Amino acid sequence: MNWYEKLNQYFPIEEMKSKKHMEMLLKEKGDIYHKDEGKNHVMMYAELNDFIFIDYIFVSKNARGEGLGHKLLEKLKKKGKPIILEVEPINYEDTDTEKRINFYKRENFQHAQSIGYERRSLATNEVNKMEILYWAPHNESEEMIYDAMIRTYNLIHTFKDKELYGESYDPASEVLTFYEDSPSQNIFDEQA
């Protein structure tokens, strides 16, 4: 099974970029968009000067519990930049969502309570709410994380969207919101 098939089997269709999209990112934005692949993992990420965005991270079921996810994150943490990623909100009918959140909590990620993120999938046309998690080695503010997410959305998520999908994603201003007084509950607190 190739790297894209592994990701495609694990991630819901509404979260997946097309294979062509990711291949074009690797080719045309290869200075910032990277693939880290091994027998039991695939990690797609963008590294900019001041942050890292993890687009996808997959660890095969037969390698879970062996510390592979931790090792992948440690490799990125050593770069000393904030690390940002998107996760599905906890769905108590899907135990993977809760396990995923707990994993990132153990890895010292924080839930961005001030950032709202709802993106319409071009594959399903449904609006999906996602949570933003981040690791901040120098106590970077959520405002910095928000700005980094806008750049990620514009550089990575919407890269050649019209050409690749026949239509454009909604603009960042309609997808990402920043709340001065964070209205959302911390998803990590739900675990207590």
**Average pLDDT value for residue range 167-185:** 85
CATH number of 3-191: 3.40.630.30
Per-residue b/e over 164-176, b at no fewer than 16 CB within 10 Å? Answer: ebeeebeebeebb
The predicted-structure confidence for 52-105, as pLDDT tens digits, reads as follows 999 999 999 888 888 999 999 999 999 999 999 999 876 656 667 678 888 999
The predicted-structure confidence for 4-37, as pLDDT tens digits, reads as follows 999 999 898 889 999 999 999 999 999 999 999 9
How far is the C-alpha of 18 from the C-alpha of 40, rounded, in Å? 21
How far is the C-alpha of 109 from the C-alpha of 131, rounded, in Å? 12
The ranges assigned to domains in the chain are 3-191
Residue 84 exposed, middle or buried by CB count within 10 Å (0-12, 13-18, 19+): buried
What pLDDT score does 192 carry?
Answer: 42
